[in-house]
C-alpha cells in the first residue's frame, strides 16, 4: 500500500469517526473479512477453516496440505 493510499484511508476513517458514522467502518471491515475468506478458500482448494490463523494459510500455500 502506498503512503497516498494509507493517507486516504486514514482520512476516511477519521471522518467516519468524527461524524459518528462507524457503521461505514464496520461494513468495510466485514467486506475485508469476507474477501479474505473467499481468497483463502480458493487458495487452499476449499480446505481453509475460519479458525485458521493467517500463518496456517500461508503455510498451506508454501508447503502444501498438512
- Structural domain boundaries, residue 39: 3-63
The DSSP secondary structure of 1-66, one letter per residue, reads: --HHHHHHHHHHHHHHHHTT-HHHHHHHHHHHHHHHHHHHHHHTTT---TT--HHHHHHHHHH---
pTM over 0.85, yes/no: no
pLDDT tens for the chain, 66 residues long, are 799 999 999 999 999 999 999 999 999 999 999 999 999 999 999 999 999 999 999 999 999 876
* pLDDT in the model for residue 1: 78
**What domain count does the chain have?**
1
* pLDDT in the model for residue 64: 84
Amino acid at each position: 500500500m502506498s503512503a497516498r493510499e494509507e493517507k486516504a484511508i486514514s482520512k476516511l476513517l477519521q471522518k467516519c469517526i468524527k461524524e459518528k458514522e462507524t457503521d461505514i467502518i464496520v461494513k468495510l471491515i466485514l467486506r475485508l473479512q469476507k474477501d479474505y475468506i473467499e481468497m483463502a478458500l480458493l487458495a487452499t482448494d476449499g480446505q481453509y477453516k475460519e479458525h485458521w490463523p493467517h500463518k496456517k494459510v500461508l503455510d498451506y500455500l508454501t508447503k502444501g496440505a498438512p
